[in-house]
Structure 1
Amino acid sequence: MSSVGARVSAVIVHYKTPEETTEAVKALAAAAPDVEVVVVDNASGDDIARRLQAETPAARLLVEARNGGYGAACNRGARETSRPFLLMLNSDSFVQAGAVEALVAALDGDPRAAAVGPRLTNPDETLQPSILRLPTLWRVFCESSGLAFLSGGRGPLRGHSATREGHSRPQSVECVKGAAILIRRSAFEEVGGFDESFFLYAEESDLCARLRRRGWRILFEPSARVVHKGGRSGGDALFGQLHEGLAQHVARHQGTIAARLARLVLRAGAAARYAISLLTPGERGRLRRSRYRAALAGPPRRA
């Protein structure tokens, strides 16, 4: 009998994190040895090829001539594989034992489920909120204005970001974090994969929105565990890219006027938070100011 892993192709997008990418491949190989692993290098120019050859020779490396973004790299990996399930992983996501089996079982158990996300944890094993809501203009406003914080992340004032609620049971959700997500290939191909105009951030929410529009469901499976470090290949410099991804999602699903308003709201929120951070002393204040400056500067220029 073939293993569950033999039905899964994993795509790991690499960008200037050679140590973590190699460790992510090794963790996946230990958790599910039969999974096909493809690493897509987004023109990093580092030693990832040497590391993979030396430490995980079974992984296949695809090298892009230019960095076309996360979604484009995932699409390239999907085109180069053929198994019925696609496991999209960040390079700092470390799959734990039994996770692949639990994710596949979730999709096997629901023929109209297109994708399923695991319970993400931080390296110290604390919960990393893994369930998202789709970003809308109203939710972006609630998040940026602080209303979501004041409401405790509940009710109509809740924003789009993940909260700690609802992580103890399997359920149907609007969206899961893209750090680790198992996708049914047939559904992925039905909607054309990731929209490559999203360079980084919000590509998973756009994909989930398009899948849901076609009648597919998105699931969360807490028995599947993945450790996610988070934020290693971009840092504060990409905080502006996060805001741009949110605005781009609003544009795609609510129109250009809503997107313009979303950008204004996001900038106003970042400016207010920057002003407040001036009152925060020490390293904590410095880090906050760096993040909000990046948000106000907008997305980095692409090479």
Structure 2
Amino acid sequence: MQVKLLLSVIIVSYNTKELLKDCLDSIQLSIEGIEGEIFVVDNNSSDNTISLIKAKYKWVKLIENKSNLGFSKANNIAIKKAKGKYLLILNPDTKLRKDTISKMINFMQSRDEIAVTTCRVELPSGSMDRDCRRHFPTPWRAFAHFSGLSKIFSGSKIFDQYQMGYLSENTEHEVDSCVGAFMFIRASAIKKVGLFDEDFFFYGEDLDWCWRFKQLGYKIVYTPVTKIIHYKGAASGIKPPSAHLSKATIESKKRAVVESTRAMELFYQKHYTDKYPRLITWSVILSVKLLEKYRLFKISHSL
């Protein structure tokens, strides 16, 4: 990366043409007056995404992959080419406000100690996407989250740790991880931390990357100075908020389930195996396998 611009926006697309159109329109308004570049890395979409970009968005730096390389690898291709002082990793199923980019740049310029930040990420309903600010998923936090205890005891410091529900959505605070749908990052920090781990195909790469930032002592911060809309689930088809907008096939949904649970297992094995007894590790891996089977069963029987 050679820093020559203020901002590089990077979007990985895969069969999300209509959502990507809205996303790019919102970026065009938000980046006005700012020296920047916008990359779209397309993972071999079959919905005419490429034709749309070439016809309507000639200012986009388009990278066409010949196959679906996954989220991490596709992002890394653009990160290597990016020339911005800051990078914005953005999902195609998001919409920015007009002030989003300027406010995030101002925030980062005034806070040199921060390497990664995210704003308030909202679902179409107006409620916050709780994944936009997270602690790392220790066995206890993961259990409380997936068992539903975090919802039953919402706001509890004991049970609602993973998505940090015990903290106000309206105050700035340090977090362990933000969500890959919107990650605003200092390029100089990426040079030291490195790129996304390409072993993570579709999920978990954001958590893993943030883990590595934290290991080097960098701060990751949630700030409510601005917000975006996230049509969560529109790409994969397996998340309830926007699954109805998804054009993902049954096979694509099943692959998303497998990749999401594989990412859980990979993250645990990479970062926690040597920190917990074998019995805990065995229980975690078994729980992940059972979760995968349950989710695949739901998809198969929703036809």
Report the TM-score, using the length of structure 1 for normalisation. Answer: 0.82
**In structure 1, what is the equivalent of residue 285 of structure 2?**
263
Query: Structure 1 residues 48, 253: CA separation in 2 closer, same or farther (over 3 Å shift)?
Result: same
Structure 1 residue 23, shift from structure 2 partner:
1.8
Distance, in Å, in 2 between the alignment partners of 1:251 and 1:295 is 27
Question: Does the CA-based 8 Å contact 1:112-1:215 persist in structure 2?
Answer: no
| 1:105 counterpart letter in structure 2 | N
Query: Structure 1 residues 259, 86: CA separation in 2 closer, same or farther (over 3 Å shift)?
Result: farther
1:85-164 to 2 correspondences below 5 Å? 85-129=86-130, 130-161=132-163, 163=165
Matched position secondary structure for 1:72: helix
1:139-218 to 2 correspondences below 5 Å? 139-161=141-163, 163=165, 165-218=167-220
Matched position secondary structure for 1:126: coil
Structure 1 residue 37, shift from structure 2 partner:
0.5
Can you give the 5+ residue segments of structure 1 that lack an aligned partner in the other structure? 1-5, 275-290, 297-303
Distance, in Å, in 2 between the alignment partners of 1:159 and 1:109 is 29
Question: Does the CA-based 8 Å contact 1:267-1:295 persist in structure 2?
Answer: no
Matched position secondary structure for 2:84: coil
Matched position secondary structure for 2:10: strand
CA deviations 1:276-302 (Å, max 9, x no partner) are xxxxxxxxxxxxxxx462699xxxxxx
Would you say how many aligned residue pairs link Structure 1 and Structure 2? 275
Query: Structure 1 residues 27, 37: CA separation in 2 closer, same or farther (over 3 Å shift)?
Result: same
Query: Structure 1 residues 127, 142: CA separation in 2 closer, same or farther (over 3 Å shift)?
Result: closer
Distance, in Å, in 2 between the alignment partners of 1:267 and 1:153 is 28
| 2:103 counterpart letter in structure 1 | A
Question: Does the CA-based 8 Å contact 1:177-1:204 persist in structure 2?
Answer: yes
**In structure 1, what is the equivalent of residue 261 of structure 2?**
243
Distance, in Å, in 2 between the alignment partners of 1:42 and 1:162 is 33
**In structure 1, what is the equivalent of residue 18 of structure 2?**
19
* 2:54 pairs with 1:32: no
Query: Structure 1 residues 156, 125: CA separation in 2 closer, same or farther (over 3 Å shift)?
Result: closer
Matched position secondary structure for 2:78: helix
Distance, in Å, in 1 between the alignment partners of 2:119 and 2:6 is 18
Distance, in Å, in 1 between the alignment partners of 2:117 and 2:134 is 12
**In structure 1, what is the equivalent of residue 245 of structure 2?**
none
Distance, in Å, in 1 between the alignment partners of 2:296 and 2:70 is 23
Structure 1 residue 227, shift from structure 2 partner:
0.9
Question: Does the CA-based 8 Å contact 1:145-1:269 persist in structure 2?
Answer: no
Can you give the 5+ residue segments of structure 2 that lack an aligned partner in the other structure? 239-252
Q: Give aligned-pair identity as a percent.
A: 24
State which of 279, 297, 301 in structure 2 corresponds to 1:293: 297
CA deviations 1:177-227 (Å, max 9, x no partner) are 211111111111211121111111111111111101101000111112111
Distance, in Å, in 1 between the alignment partners of 2:298 and 2:267 is 20
Structure 1 residue 157, shift from structure 2 partner:
2.9
Query: Structure 1 residues 74, 294: CA separation in 2 closer, same or farther (over 3 Å shift)?
Result: farther
CA deviations 1:259-281 (Å, max 9, x no partner) are 5432212344577xx6xxxxxxx
Structure 1 residue 61, shift from structure 2 partner:
0.7
| 1:244 counterpart letter in structure 2 | R
Report the TM-score, using the length of structure 2 for normalisation. Answer: 0.82
